[in-house]
Chains A and B, each alone.
Chain A
Amino acid sequence: MFVWLPEVASTYGPRIDHLFYIILALTGGSMILTEACLFWFAWKYRHREGRRAHYTHGNKTIEAVWTVIPAGILVMLTFMSKSVWDLVKHTNPPSDVNLLITASQFNWEVRYPGSDGKLDTPDDVVLNNEMHVPLGRPTHIMLRSKDVIHSFFLPNMRVKQDVVPGLTIPIWFEPTKAGNYEIGCAELCGFGHYTMHGILTVHPAEEYKAWLEQAEKEAGPQAAPAADEGPA
């Protein structure tokens, strides 16, 4: 049975995982240390007839030490986290893979710009609960919702972003392994929440090109989305 983080398949994924394991080591170590202390004290200082407890109201030096050490560790973690957060949220590697995902109860609508390279035009390729991206190139996604809050969750890519009606939220990731991965919804969005399930396929570059051409051919010219379909 696997219990650790699922297989990671995006460029920034390993950095998130690395941070996770650093925190796990630090908190795990602190947990073992403090719990061991607790149990050891409970055993060593259990009540025995004739022994009186040591009378003390504390020790300022010790207290200062055990305030400063955790504070230092937490400041360090904050800085380490900030650099990864900035990588995920504040960088924007250039790419020509741009798609629009519109969430609704209980469906992920994935829209590719057709040959004109523009979204929301008649030649868009539109898929439901199915997403295809090329390997080794950043994928840019605009997230929109038609009804309630959903959360776009790609566990293997370490991607999670709430999809909020009234907002268009940009995200990106760059896959590092070809294959099929699952898409889930992580924010309660109604009774069908658990069925909001899609598949992401990461293709090697050539295969992706072929897939896109095929999809465009199959889709043919389509009606542009009605103006009132999605919130601006």
Chain B
Amino acid sequence: MTQSHASAPDHGPTSFWTKYVFSQDHKVIGIQFMFVSFFFMLIGGFLAMMIRWQLAYPDRALPGGSLFPSSVLEEGHITPPVYNQIFTMHGTIMIFFVIIPMLTGAFGNYLIPLMIGARDMAFPKLNMLSYWVLVPSAFVILSSFFVPLGPAAAGWTNYPPLSYDPQWTGVGIGHTLWLVALLMSGTSSIMGSLNYITTIVNMRAPGMSFFRMPLTIWALFVTAILQLMATPVLASVLGMLLLDRTVGTHFFAPAGGGHVILWQHLFWFYSHPAVYIMILPAMGFVSDIISTFSRKPIFGYHAMAYSIMGIAGLGFIVWGHHMFQSGMNPTLGTSFMMSTMLIAVPSAIKTFNWLGTLWRGTIHFTTAMLNAMAFVSMFIIGGLSGIFMASTPVDIFIHDTYFIVAHLHYVLFGGSMFGIFASVHYWFPKMFGRMMSERWGKVHFVLTFIAYNLTFFPMHLLGMGGMMRRIYDPTQYDFLKPLQPMNIFVSMSAFTLGLVQLIFMLNFLISLFRGKKVDRNPWRANSLEWAAPSPPGHGNFETIPTVYRGPYEFSSPESKEDYLPQDVPSALPAGAPAGVH
């Protein structure tokens, strides 16, 4: 519990190493996760640009390609094996080293103790360890670029037997390193989620009942449970493949009595919930941001919390929708279709409640709000396009086409990434005590929004035209040739999208040092993190706040101001009607 620190909030570590490197302070750890994610975002983004270059101009050398060693690019040309490595690493890095560490690692760590009114995580040393397992994992995955025969090349889903035997891919130790890196990052996730669950259950400030928690905390809480239950399954399957590759077991090799589809079941049992690990936290953050900048309570708070739980619960029984065409029994396909269709219901509830929150609000278009609204707008498209794959017969045609690529990027870029942009702009003042430039933030937002839609929307059309995923050169097929101008258009938009992200990076870095200084609560928000100084010192709060109400009391008749923080006692005399929560 927090009492042990209660009287000494500022007596934190003083040495540089214990304060900034091997820190046990959840805020420093959160920011460390954030910087790792940013670093990998650059690499993942660069790989995406290479993919798009190849698809637009299958015959042309990569500009600047001659700078690469000839073992990687032949006279500047991306070769088919290298192409497979590029998209494999793009997917792996973006999922396991950008989005998950950013949403749960960075924001989870930073926000949980602050928003529930605790001084730190329940297990600060375990927390530090969760970061210091991710760092070596990052080194392992990066090192795989430099080993003989290069990094993994079997797609981020890594289906055996392709991933099982080096003779099929032409990749050697790179694949083993991929498995080791993911095992390590999974270990980091497990440690983090244990910490989050324990902290949220045990360390809430007085008065902070479960249904007074901000939706950000609900989302992170449910995500942590999801992670804790799903990640060990991934670990088991990675371990099995590692044994297959190194000591000659045959879990996945039919020749030795193994079963190929076993991997897919176990992999998707983790990786489907992982899709929600990558969107649920963003849903929570966006809910808080939309409520704050509409100056209105969130519409249907309880429904929002329950639908987070509903999505997570259903998330565990839908993994088979990735396997409709895998050779799994078609009767199972029907049951997985039913559960998958069901999951659209809580998603629809969330969308309508966000709209309900905007309705009759007074909307302030800050950069954070614009990105949050873009999240909603893009999640609508990404969610709806999921219904096509949920329908088993329609999935026959669009499975493994660019329609899927469009859908997953609408959810993961349009969803997770806009959620991340919104959250970085929203919580930056708390993290660093300074503002990010609103002007450059808006320039970045507008350009990103346009370039992003021009990149990913046409991919639906490519998929409907039948263009398969993961093919090196679509012009090999006559029926895909008419789509080539669209491929070029998509690539142009993608290059713009990539370039525009530099504005965000620069804005972030410059604002760290030059941003306008702020006080505790620049957005006039209600949740507890805004009751702490900006940035909060060691131990977060001068005194642990007491919570009197839910986090969304905006424009309440109880207060003259249009906000009423959770830790401020009511201004009205006792007996007056209180807030709903």
Chain A residues close to B by CB (< 8 Å): 1-6, 15-16, 19-20, 23-24, 26-27, 30-31, 34-35, 37-38, 41-42, 45-48, 51-59, 62-63, 66-67, 70-71, 74-75, 77-78, 80-82, 84-85, 88-90, 105, 147-149, 151, 153, 155-156, 158-167, 169, 182, 184-195, 197, 231
Complex CA distance for A232 and B400, rounded to whole angstroms: 27
Q: Which of B259, B299, B345, B478 contacts A74 (CB 8 A)?
A: B345
Q: How many residues of B contact A (CB 8 A)?
A: 102
Chain A residues within 8 Å of B300, by CB: 57-59, 63
Given contacts A31-B380, A46-B363, A186-B399, contact A81 B394 (CB under 8 A): yes
Asked if B13 lies at the interface with its beta carbon under 8 angstroms from chain A, I say no
Chain B residues within 8 Å of A54, by CB: 296, 359-361, 555
Given contacts A57-B297, A63-B349, A190-B169, contact A148 B161 (CB under 8 A): yes
A53 touches B345 (CB 8 A): no
A188 touches B333 (CB 8 A): no
Complex CA distance for A4 and B294, rounded to whole angstroms: 40
Nearest-CB residue, chain B, relative to A46: B363
Given contacts A35-B380, A165-B254, contact A70 B393 (CB under 8 A): no
Q: Which of B255, B333, B344, B396 contacts A158 (CB 8 A)?
A: B396
Given contacts A58-B303, A166-B259, contact A85 B341 (CB under 8 A): no
Complex CA distance for A24 and B381, rounded to whole angstroms: 12
B468 touches A185 (CB 8 A): yes
Complex CA distance for A8 and B81, rounded to whole angstroms: 33
Nearest CB of B to A35, in Å: 6
A2 touches B348 (CB 8 A): no
Q: Which of B261, B359, B388, B390 contacts A20 (CB 8 A)?
A: B388
B385 touches A16 (CB 8 A): no
Nearest CB of B to A104, in Å: 11
Of the A-B pairs whose beta carbons lie under 8 Å apart in the complex, a sample of 7, sorted by A's number, is A1-B482, A26-B387, A53-B296, A148-B161, A148-B168, A153-B400, A164-B260
B80 touches A194 (CB 8 A): yes
Q: Which of A31, A81, A189 has the most CB of B within 10 A?
A: A81
Chain B residues within 8 Å of A182, by CB: 477-479
Where chain A touches its partner, the secondary structure class is mixed
Q: Chain B, 540-568, contact with A by CB distance < 8 Å: what is the 0/1 string? A: 00000000000010111100001000000
Asked if B424 lies at the interface with its beta carbon under 8 angstroms from chain A, I say no
* Chain B residues numbered 434-471 whose CB sits less than 8 Å from any CB in chain A: 461, 464-466, 468-471
Chain A residues within 8 Å of B331, by CB: 90
Nearest-CB residue, chain B, relative to A41: B358
Nearest CB of B to A198, in Å: 11
**Which 4 A-B residue pairings sit nearest by Cβ, starting from the closest?**
A166-B254, A54-B360, A89-B330, A58-B300
B303 touches A191 (CB 8 A): no
Given contacts A57-B301, A105-B168, A193-B470, contact A187 B376 (CB under 8 A): no
Besides the known contacts A3-B486, A148-B159, A184-B466, 5 further A-B residue pairs in the complex with CB atoms under 8 A apart = A2-B482, A52-B295, A165-B254, A166-B254, A193-B471
Nearest CB of A to B355, in Å: 5
Chain B residues within 8 Å of A75, by CB: 341
Complex CA distance for A169 and B394, rounded to whole angstroms: 20
Nearest-CB residue, chain A, relative to B557: A55
Nearest-CB residue, chain A, relative to B399: A160
Asked if B496 lies at the interface with its beta carbon under 8 angstroms from chain A, I say no
Given contacts A53-B295, A147-B168, A148-B161, contact A197 B477 (CB under 8 A): yes
Complex CA distance for A35 and B380, rounded to whole angstroms: 8
Chain B residues within 8 Å of A169, by CB: 327
Q: Which of A30, A77, A162 has the most CB of B within 10 A?
A: A162
Complex CA distance for A47 and B390, rounded to whole angstroms: 40
* Chain B residues numbered 348-367 whose CB sits less than 8 Å from any CB in chain A: 348-349, 351-353, 355-356, 358-365
Chain B residues close to A by CB (< 8 Å): 79-81, 83-84, 153-155, 159, 161-162, 168-170, 254-255, 259-261, 294-301, 303, 325-327, 330-331, 333-334, 337-338, 341-342, 344-345, 348-349, 351-353, 355-356, 358-365, 373, 376-377, 380-381, 384-385, 387-388, 390-394, 396-397, 399-401, 461, 464-466, 468-474, 476-479, 482-483, 485-486, 552, 554-557, 562, 580-581
Chain B residues within 8 Å of A34, by CB: 351-352, 355, 380
Chain A residues within 8 Å of B384, by CB: 27, 30-31
Given contacts A27-B385, A88-B393, A193-B470, contact A164 B399 (CB under 8 A): no
Chain B residues within 8 Å of A26, by CB: 387
A85 touches B461 (CB 8 A): no
Chain B residues within 8 Å of A89, by CB: 330, 333
Nearest-CB residue, chain A, relative to B385: A27
Nearest-CB residue, chain B, relative to A192: B80
Chain B residues within 8 Å of A46, by CB: 362-363, 365
Complex CA distance for A117 and B443, rounded to whole angstroms: 69
Chain B residues within 8 Å of A81, by CB: 337, 391-394
Complex CA distance for A4 and B466, rounded to whole angstroms: 9
A165 touches B400 (CB 8 A): no
A16 touches B84 (CB 8 A): no
B387 touches A77 (CB 8 A): yes
A160 touches B400 (CB 8 A): yes
Complex CA distance for A186 and B376, rounded to whole angstroms: 32
Nearest-CB residue, chain B, relative to A89: B330
Complex CA distance for A1 and B400, rounded to whole angstroms: 22
Q: Which of A52, A88, A156 has the most CB of B within 10 A?
A: A52
B168 touches A160 (CB 8 A): no
B338 touches A5 (CB 8 A): no
Q: Which of A4, A20, A71 contacts B394 (CB 8 A)?
A: A20
Complex CA distance for A85 and B390, rounded to whole angstroms: 12
Chain B residues within 8 Å of A63, by CB: 300, 303, 349, 352-353
A74 touches B344 (CB 8 A): yes
Given contacts A6-B479, A55-B557, contact A38 B358 (CB under 8 A): yes
Nearest-CB residue, chain B, relative to A80: B391
B362 touches A53 (CB 8 A): yes
Given contacts A1-B482, A53-B294, contact A19 B394 (CB under 8 A): yes
A53 touches B360 (CB 8 A): yes
Chain B residues within 8 Å of A20, by CB: 388, 394, 397
Chain A residues within 8 Å of B83, by CB: 191
Nearest CB of A to B384, in Å: 4
Complex CA distance for A47 and B365, rounded to whole angstroms: 8
A66 touches B348 (CB 8 A): yes
Nearest-CB residue, chain A, relative to B84: A191
Complex CA distance for A24 and B461, rounded to whole angstroms: 12
Nearest CB of B to A182, in Å: 5
Chain B residues within 8 Å of A77, by CB: 341, 387, 390-391
Chain B residues within 8 Å of A164, by CB: 260-261, 326-327
A45 touches B361 (CB 8 A): yes
B464 touches A231 (CB 8 A): no
Nearest CB of A to B92, in Å: 14
Q: Which of A45, A163, A191 contacts B80 (CB 8 A)?
A: A191
A23 touches B255 (CB 8 A): no
Complex CA distance for A73 and B384, rounded to whole angstroms: 12
Complex CA distance for A63 and B298, rounded to whole angstroms: 13
Chain B residues within 8 Å of A23, by CB: 387-388, 391, 394
A5 touches B296 (CB 8 A): no
